[in-house]
């Protein structure tokens, strides 16, 4: 079948060298998307950002040390004075003050001892933000997988439709020749001949349409692979479901493993620590302070001045900033709580909906398969009867048209089943690592 598709693609794209199409299995697509999809790379950078943000927060509990060194030169202007109260030419005296260079060195340190546990709460919130970004990475990966799987299924479907429409076109040509032969023998009227000719033209149009759809599907898959340039490709696979999940699972239990819901849960946990951090702003901050330094005219003074002690800062009044921060943090927590509740309900419904849709599409494939088998047999018998004059053209063409419709419906049913399965895997939180 792949050879037939490749030949048809060559006819569709004559500018491309024969055999130049890249063959991609589903596993190849997954590996490539994991390696280069921009959305996945962006999600990974978000994880790195939150890790760095946590280290920024952690720095508040570590010693803060600053140093300073300076050199300054002070040079006074020349001063002229008169002697004996009499000023005479050549009798003025001058006094020049020499310049003075001062060196200053100091090193100061500060260590947080207590801040109402604000930094501790901020660190816990930052840790939850890292978890959130990791779950977001899984959500992005899950979205990429469903889009990639859908694009792969569409390319498989387009290839199969090209094969089916080419087969239909050949059948329509045979039918036309049969009707033409009977028309020339005076056993069929001109209306039947023209109808058969129109059916043949319709079949040719659908072949051309299928070729264009293959190109569009290739473009779709190129985008979902994360490629920056287009290359003609063929999907190596079949429109078949291998491991159909037929037993209804516990959706409530299954929802606990969905990355989107996990992300909402850790966001609520981060918001809780945000409230605690805001309340910590009402407590004083205590620091241990120390410094050492010197100011001297010597470049390397041998005696230093130093000091050590503690300091306490109490926020008696900050214009209502802390109170407003507490109110804001509570509102953020309230929003996160409602987002989690809404998200859980949405996840459970999505799981039940996608599972139900998947079961419908699976059963429809079997129904369409039965119809296809029956219709092919009926069409075989009808053609034989028409060729010997036991069936009228009007009755025969109804059966032929039904066969054409069922052939395309079967391909569409298989495609819908693959996409429904992909949506179900996404609803469960399946990422690119699922396969």
DSSP 292-347: EEEEESSSS-S--EEEEEEEEE--S--TTHHHHHHHHHHHHHHHHHHHHHHHHHHH
181-196 pLDDT, tens digit per residue, is 999 999 999 999 999 9
Task: Calculate mean pLDDT across residues 405-423.
Answer: 97
Residues 94 and 145: their CA atoms lie apart, in Å, by: 90
102-157 pLDDT, tens digit per residue, is 778 888 888 988 898 999 999 999 999 999 999 999 999 999 999 999 999 999 99
Q: What angle do CA 227, 432, 427 make, to 5 degrees?
A: 120
As a whole number, the mean pLDDT across the chain is 89
Q: What band does 307 get if pLDDT is binned at 50, 70 and 90? A: confident
State the pLDDT at residue 21. Answer: 82
Residue 118 CA, chain-centre distance (Å), reads 34
Task: Calculate mean pLDDT across residues 15-43.
Answer: 85
State the pLDDT at residue 79. Answer: 45
Q: Within 13 A of 380's CA, how many CA atoms are on the CB side?
A: 6
State the pLDDT at residue 299. Answer: 60
* 3-state class (DSSP) for residue 290: strand
User: Which H or E run includes 37?
Assistant: none
Long-range contacts formed by 203-207: CB under 8 A, 24+ apart:
203/165, 203/168, 203/169, 203/171, 203/172, 203/173, 203/404, 204/169, 206/165, 206/168, 206/169, 207/8, 207/162, 207/165, 207/166, 207/169
Task: Say yes or no to pLDDT of 14 above 60.
Answer: no
Q: What band does 98 get if pLDDT is binned at 50, 70 and 90? A: low
Task: Say yes or no to pLDDT of 348 above 60.
Answer: yes
Yes or no: say if 72 and 102 are a contact pair by the CB < 8 Å rule.
Answer: yes
Task: Say yes or no to pLDDT of 420 above 90.
Answer: yes
Task: Say yes or no to pLDDT of 395 above 50.
Answer: yes
Task: Say yes or no to pLDDT of 6 above 60.
Answer: no
* 3-state class (DSSP) for residue 429: coil
141-153 pLDDT, tens digit per residue, is 999 999 999 999 9
Give the CA radius of gyration of the chain: 40
Q: What band does 101 get if pLDDT is binned at 50, 70 and 90? A: confident
Residue 275 CA, chain-centre distance (Å), reads 30
Task: Calculate mean pLDDT across residues 226-241.
Answer: 92
DSSP 148-198: HHHHHHHHHHHHHHHHHHHHHHHHHHHHHHHHHHHHHTTSS-HHHHHHHHH
Domains with residue ranges and CATH for the chain: 2-61+135-282+320-434 (1.20.1600.10)
Q: Within 13 A of 36's CA, how many CA atoms are on the CB side?
A: 12
Task: Say yes or no to pLDDT of 433 above 90.
Answer: yes
Q: What are phi and psi of 227, to 5 degrees?
A: -80, 150
DSSP 72-112: EEE-PPPEEE-BTTB--TT--EEE-PPPEEEEEEEEEEEEE
Looking up tokens 């069929």, which residue turns up? 188
State the pLDDT at residue 80. Answer: 46
Task: Calculate mean pLDDT across residues 248-255.
Answer: 95
276-285 pLDDT, tens digit per residue, is 999 999 999 9
Q: Which residues is 24 bridged to in the sheet?
A: 235
Task: Calculate mean pLDDT across residues 375-385.
Answer: 96
Task: Say yes or no to pLDDT of 90 above 50.
Answer: no
DSSP 203-251: HHHHHHHHHHHHHHHHHHHHHHHT-SS---EEEES-S--SS---S---H
Q: What band does 72 get if pLDDT is binned at 50, 70 and 90? A: confident
State the pLDDT at residue 245. Answer: 82
Task: Say yes or no to pLDDT of 244 above 90.
Answer: no
State the pLDDT at residue 338. Answer: 97
Give burial (CB, 10 Å; 0-12/13-18/19+) of 108: middle
State the pLDDT at residue 277. Answer: 94
Task: Say yes or no to pLDDT of 69 above 90.
Answer: no
Task: Say yes or no to pLDDT of 86 above 50.
Answer: no
165-183 pLDDT, tens digit per residue, is 999 999 999 999 999 999 9
Task: Calculate mean pLDDT across residues 304-323.
Answer: 86
Residues 287 and 309: their CA atoms lie apart, in Å, by: 9
CA distances from 372 to 57, 363, 376, 407, 409 (A): 65, 14, 6, 6, 9
Task: Calculate mean pLDDT across residues 84-100.
Answer: 51
């Amino acid at each position: 079948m792949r050879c037939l598709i490749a030949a048809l693609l060559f006819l569709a794209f004559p500018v491309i060298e024969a055999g130049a199409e890249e063959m991609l299995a589903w596993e190849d697509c997954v590996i490539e998307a994991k390696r280069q999809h921009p959305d996945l790379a962006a999600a990974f950078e978000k994880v790195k950002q939150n890790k760095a943000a946590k280290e920024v927060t952690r720095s508040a509990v570590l010693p803060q040390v600053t140093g300073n060194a300076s050199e300054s030169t002070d040079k006074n202007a020349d001063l002229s004075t008169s002697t004996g109260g009499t000023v005479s030419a050549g009798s003025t005296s001058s006094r020049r003050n020499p310049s003075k260079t001062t060196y200053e060195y100091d090193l100061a340190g500060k260590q947080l001892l207590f801040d109402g546990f604000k930094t501790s709460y901020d660190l816990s919130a930052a840790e939850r933000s890292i978890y959130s970004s990791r779950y977001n990475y899984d959500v992005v990966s899950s979205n990429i997988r469903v889009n990639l799987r859908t694009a792969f299924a569409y390319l498989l479907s387009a290839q199969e439709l090209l094969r089916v429409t080419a087969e239909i076109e050949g059948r329509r040509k045979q039918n036309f020749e049969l009707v033409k032969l009977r028309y020339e023998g005076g056993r069929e009227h001109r209306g039947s001949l023209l109808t058969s000719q129109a059916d043949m033209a319709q079949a040719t149009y659908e072949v051309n349409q299928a070729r264009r759809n293959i190109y569009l599907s290739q473009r779709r898959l190129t985008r979902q692979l994360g490629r920056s340039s287009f290359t003609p490709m063929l999907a190596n696979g079949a429109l078949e479901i291998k491991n159909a999940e037929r037993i209804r699972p516990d959706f409530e239990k299954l929802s606990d493993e969905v990355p989107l819901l996990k992300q909402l849960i850790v966001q609520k946990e981060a918001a809780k620590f945000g409230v605690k951090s805001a309340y910590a702003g009402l407590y004083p901050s205590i620091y241990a302070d120390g410094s050492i330094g010197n100011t001297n005219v010597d470049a390397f003074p041998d005696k230093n001045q130093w000091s050590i002690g503690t300091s306490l800062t109490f926020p008696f009044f900050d214009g209502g900033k802390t109170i407003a921060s507490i109110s804001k943090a509570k509102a953020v927590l309230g929003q996160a709580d409602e987002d989690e509740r809404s998200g859980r309900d949405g996840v459970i419904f999505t799981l039940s909906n996608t599972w139900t849709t998947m079961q419908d599409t699976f059963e429809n494939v079997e129904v369409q398969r039965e119809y296809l088998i029956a219709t092919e047999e009926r069409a075989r018998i009808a053609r034989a009867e028409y060729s010997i004059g036991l069936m009228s053209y009007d009755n025969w063409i109804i059966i032929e048209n039904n066969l054409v419709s069922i052939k395309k419906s079967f391909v569409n049913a298989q495609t819908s089943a693959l996409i429904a399965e992909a949506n179900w895997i996404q609803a469960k939180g399946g990422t690119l690592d699922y396969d």
